């Protein structure tokens, strides 16, 4: 599975504790992380040698990493999104954050915005079940609508 991982600065410590707690499971999957989060996750899981085949680092969120993650969601290259965002701080890239969350909903990607939900997702019997295929909404009527 391709697991997208994003964490705002004030949530990175929480995310790293979650990664540490779930490292055995996470090491079995390909992780796609934004900037600094990716470095921290890779260091925690694999030491200072970053294994690009296991942890793909995108740009930092404010530098386009959220949009890169959204692109991967829209091209069906992310199966689960763990996005620990900071509800107490304004983000300079708030529109990108909203767009990323919108795409996760649009493409029906299981998304955790807090640690409790991340725990539910990773402990679900559906997690890592090769037979699970999330329902994809058909947007053909919207795409083929007549524009007046």
- 135 part of a folded domain: no
Q: CA dihedral defined by 111, 115, 120, 126, rounded to 10 degrees? A: 40
Q: Is 94 a known active-site residue? A: no
- 147 part of a folded domain: no
Q: Which of 92, 101, 119 is nearest to 14 (CA)?
A: 119
- 35 part of a folded domain: yes
Give the CATH number for residue 101.
Answer: 3.40.50.1380
Token reading at 101: 């969350």
Per-residue pLDDT band for 49 (boundaries 50, 70, 90) equals low
Question: How many domains does the chain contain in total?
Answer: 1
Per-residue pLDDT band for 136 (boundaries 50, 70, 90) equals confident
Of 31-35, 48-52, 82-86, 131-135, the one with minimum mean pLDDT is 48-52
Of 11-15, 25-29, 68-72, 134-138, the one with minimum mean pLDDT is 134-138
| pLDDT given at position 76 | 93
What are the helix (H) ranges across the chain?
12-21, 23-26, 35-46, 65-74, 94-106, 115-123, 140-143
Task: Choose the catalytic residue: 9, 14, 43, 66.
Answer: 66
Contact, 19 vs 42, CB < 8 A?
no
pLDDT at position 90 over 70? yes
- 86 part of a folded domain: yes
- 148 part of a folded domain: no
Contact, 14 vs 40, CB < 8 A?
no
**Could you list the residue range(s) of the whole structural domain that residue 73 is in?**
2-129
Token reading at 148: 């007046």
Per-residue pLDDT band for 91 (boundaries 50, 70, 90) equals confident
- For 43-67, what is the mean pLDDT? 86
pLDDT at position 3 over 90? yes
With both helix axes pointing from N to C terminus, report the angle between 65-74 and 94-106 in degrees, rounded to the nearest 10: 10
Q: Give this prediction's pTM.
A: 0.91
């Amino acid at each position: 599975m391709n697991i997208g991982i994003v964490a705002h600065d004030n949530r990175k410590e929480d995310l790293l504790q979650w990664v540490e707690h779930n490292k055995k499971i996470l090491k079995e999957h390909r992780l796609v992380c934004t900037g600094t989060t990716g470095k921290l996750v890779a260091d925690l899981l694999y030491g200072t040698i970053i294994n690009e085949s296991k942890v793909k680092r995108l740009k930092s969120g404010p530098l386009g990493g959220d949009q890169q993650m959204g692109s991967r969601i829209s091209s069906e290259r992310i199966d689960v999104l763990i996005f620990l965002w900071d509800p107490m701080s304004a983000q300079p890239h708030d529109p990108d954050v909203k767009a990323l969350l919108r795409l996760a909903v649009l493409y029906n990607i299981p998304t955790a915005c807090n640690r409790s939900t991340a725990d539910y997702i990773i402990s679900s019997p559906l997690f890592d079940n090769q037979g699970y295929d999330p329902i994809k909404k058909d947007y053909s009527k919207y795409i083929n609508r007549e524009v007046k």
